[in-house]
Structure 1
């Protein structure tokens, strides 16, 4: 994150944005004037900045045959033919194995080619609930006859292109350069292909409204960054991001936007989006809720669960501190910390565990697989969530489906996923001491605890992937039926 190349690539999208915010009357001429230097910049990044650790399956197996060499830098998309080079079914292909999917053109007026911009996919080591939702929605779009291609950032060791569940993932550049690479790739290969553009904004926008102006477009914003900038980014980029976010949101305010919580909807309204521009659709969980709670066996001692990536914005250290406070009131209390991370914050979490006077009652598991995750959710008594901000808090609903209620901080997203006193508890103030008070309160009254976990479990059954998709697809249909208010 701190490397010079990454910083260089990070600033370039904002250099592109600056004139657009203040010269809206001449957007077209500004875009024309920057297109050539932008292409030059992206070509420079392709060869000098981007670490080409992603390779197509064909290159992994037969790189020398294709003249690339194992791991040599190859400009993204060079092996893909242009729009005019088509097979009989209308699919773009260069005839090589493992490089491009052959998509038959589906019938029906609302069968679409959907191009989805987002900086990471489910295979990315930094993926979370948003990426899970994206790809579940994409799989259902394909099932209904649409064609979906994701343009995402690459990561070390990734496969450059692959097909999963019928949708295509094309990985371009890296975390920082994907925005420029996606712009370049779109202009070269995709501008005539896409019927609908979905742009997910997660910290940095792709700015598709400025180079794909004639396309129906939807933004997906699961959450705004705001204070997260100061937890996840270093100075001065954190300050720059914080100041730029309201500007690019205001520039995008005329577009249709989809989000997953009322908190994010209110945030978007605050930054200029009109009421009829923001649509909330319900998230869905991938795990099946337990059939019943009656035979569920919890751990013999009251156990708290800390689950998820060890990142600064998750404030896992607060959960360890809350356990320390609560342990003084409940001597049998245990804490399980399950999740991995890297860098300074992981070291802070491990140090907090090591410094705890009750460290013998804390079990740090590191990263865990799905089976272990589900078992921990079923057998723990409470899950703790202390994030700075969330879009929803998928982990809260997942734990509820396994019979475990949550105690959460009162922040965006978490106050949406928990109904205070009914399906979980929300802290009055966001501090370890207050969380400890609620832990003690929840575990000391068995009748209220059982009622709360029953309510959480029943409520979780409403959050199905099929319901999410039904409401999501309804919004897409509205956009693509020529509603004149769709594109700003």
Structure 2
């Protein structure tokens, strides 16, 4: 089977995140099973137009927003007769492939963005994106099979009347050969790893650190990842006189990310919304408990009171309370860490790849 992926970015993009990891991990396994996989996405500074990564043919065209037009043109002019099935990955807005792709299509949605648009985009782009996702997408994709990553996302998709009863949940996986427990830091270490975008709400964690340092003086916070809000949050850290306690690592490669998870006493994700929160499971696989916002996606990947804790989104005092509880109670940390490790064993990329391939084969043979 030949499979073409339309996705905003590829795994090498400076702002690649969980959405890119999700597709890449499955796609490279499909290649190993003998399938041909292509990937249409946006270019970025100094990126090659084409290259092959893990057997996946990466084709870059257009920029951050232009990719939606140029990907359609690229497909029509060069790829129309070369692929059996198409995966249309919605990262805020889809590629509207029903307008120009005649082969079977699968719509992939990690989560519905709606409110995120108003946090990330300026007027009028925010309203244009809202209209495209909430009004036009349901009209265009009402008969297209849909895949998502969590029950929360499935419920959101149903609200838009997408997918009908044909919404499959395929969870994120974790590589249990790489993400394993390691030696913990000798001093209390809180970590966040992920993109630094507004809706990730890292400012909530930074404000929490102002109080945490008073109650756990030896604590340190490491923030790994890059994004458009990094400079603003670095300024906030200095304003709160926390620059000796909060360290911004910028982009971290996978090996370094694993080492950070292994050393961490607790991983925190204060995001406004997620599809699932793959970093929660990665942290758990390293024996690290997770504290996360009680929001769609994160309430699916974090078992409250078992693998970590949930707190009310944006509630700094609530986050402080949970952090202090974990940092000061070694027995609790150990218990949550062991539970998280067992929880993470339920998820693997091999399993996810098999489930994804099963869905693709069904729509191909339909």
Identify if the C-alpha distance between structure 1 residues 446 and 242 changes in structure 2 by more than 3 Å, giving closer, same or farther: same
Residue 5 of structure 1 corresponds to: none
Query: Of the two structures, which has the highest relative contact order with CA contacts closer than 8 Å and spacing of 6 or more?
Result: 2
Higher strand share: 2
Aligned-residue offset at 1:429: 4.5
**For the residues of structure 1 that align with 2:179 and 2:99, how far apart are their CA atoms?**
47
Mapping 1:36-75, distance limit 5 Å:
none
**For the residues of structure 2 that align with 1:207 and 1:429, how far apart are their CA atoms?**
33
Of 144, 163, 168 in structure 1, the residue corresponding to residue 57 of structure 2 is: 168
Aligned-residue offset at 1:274: 4.8
Residue 158 of structure 2 corresponds to: 269
Aligned-residue offset at 1:164: 1.9
Local SS of the residue matching 2:165: helix
Deviations 1:115-170 (A, max 9, x none): 21112111111111111121221122222222111111111111101122222111
Identify if the C-alpha distance between structure 1 residues 372 and 164 changes in structure 2 by more than 3 Å, giving closer, same or farther: closer
Deviations 1:449-487 (A, max 9, x none): 2111100011112211101111111111211221xxxxx
Answer yes or no: is 1:424 the counterpart of 2:308.
yes
Of 82, 89, 99 in structure 2, the residue corresponding to residue 200 of structure 1 is: 89
Residue 77 of structure 2 corresponds to: 188
Give the TM-score, by structure 2 length. Answer: 0.94
Mapping 1:457-472, distance limit 5 Å:
457-472=341-356
**For the residues of structure 1 that align with 2:148 and 2:104, how far apart are their CA atoms?**
18
Deviations 1:79-116 (A, max 9, x none): xxxxxxxxxxxxxxxxxxxxxxxxxxxxxxxxx22221
Aligned-residue offset at 1:278: 0.6
Of 216, 228, 240 in structure 2, the residue corresponding to residue 330 of structure 1 is: 216
**For the residues of structure 2 that align with 1:396 and 1:440, how far apart are their CA atoms?**
19
**For the residues of structure 2 that align with 1:347 and 1:431, how far apart are their CA atoms?**
23
Identify if the C-alpha distance between structure 1 residues 207 and 429 changes in structure 2 by more than 3 Å, giving closer, same or farther: closer
RMSD: 1.8
Local SS of the residue matching 1:276: coil
Answer yes or no: is 1:146 the counterpart of 2:32.
no
Residue 477 of structure 1 corresponds to: 361
Residue 80 of structure 1 corresponds to: none
Q: Paired residues, what number?
A: 365
**For the residues of structure 2 that align with 1:315 and 1:448, how far apart are their CA atoms?**
26
**For the residues of structure 2 that align with 1:123 and 1:429, how far apart are their CA atoms?**
31
Residue 114 of structure 2 corresponds to: 226
Residue 4 of structure 1 corresponds to: none
Contact 1:289–1:461, Cα closer than 8 Å, also in 2: no
Deviations 1:162-202 (A, max 9, x none): 12222211111112211111222222222222211111111
Answer yes or no: is 1:239 the counterpart of 2:239.
no
Identify if the C-alpha distance between structure 1 residues 335 and 405 changes in structure 2 by more than 3 Å, giving closer, same or farther: same
Larger-gyration structure (1/2): 1
Contact 1:249–1:272, Cα closer than 8 Å, also in 2: no
Contact 2:144–2:163, Cα closer than 8 Å, also in 1: no
Residue 66 of structure 1 corresponds to: none
Contact 2:43–2:49, Cα closer than 8 Å, also in 1: yes
Answer yes or no: is 1:372 the counterpart of 2:260.
no
Identify if the C-alpha distance between structure 1 residues 144 and 429 changes in structure 2 by more than 3 Å, giving closer, same or farther: closer
Of 174, 183, 207 in structure 2, the residue corresponding to residue 285 of structure 1 is: 174
**For the residues of structure 2 that align with 1:471 and 1:278, how far apart are their CA atoms?**
13
Deviations 1:270-325 (A, max 9, x none): 1002542210012112453666x5xx432222111122232212111111111112
Local SS of the residue matching 1:306: strand
Moved more, 232-241 or 359-368: 359-368
Contact 1:317–1:348, Cα closer than 8 Å, also in 2: no
Unaligned runs of 5+ in 2: none
Aligned-residue offset at 1:365: 2.8
Give the TM-score, by structure 1 length. Answer: 0.71
Identify if the C-alpha distance between structure 1 residues 431 and 249 changes in structure 2 by more than 3 Å, giving closer, same or farther: same
Identify if the C-alpha distance between structure 1 residues 368 and 192 changes in structure 2 by more than 3 Å, giving closer, same or farther: closer
Residue 402 of structure 1 corresponds to: 286
**For the residues of structure 2 that align with 1:208 and 1:290, how far apart are their CA atoms?**
36
Identify if the C-alpha distance between structure 1 residues 474 and 384 changes in structure 2 by more than 3 Å, giving closer, same or farther: same
Residue 98 of structure 2 corresponds to: 209
Contact 1:218–1:258, Cα closer than 8 Å, also in 2: yes
**For the residues of structure 1 that align with 2:242 and 2:179, how far apart are their CA atoms?**
33
Identify if the C-alpha distance between structure 1 residues 354 and 339 changes in structure 2 by more than 3 Å, giving closer, same or farther: same
Unaligned runs of 5+ in 1: 1-111, 483-488
Local SS of the residue matching 2:82: coil
Local SS of the residue matching 1:360: coil
**For the residues of structure 1 that align with 2:325 and 2:247, how far apart are their CA atoms?**
23
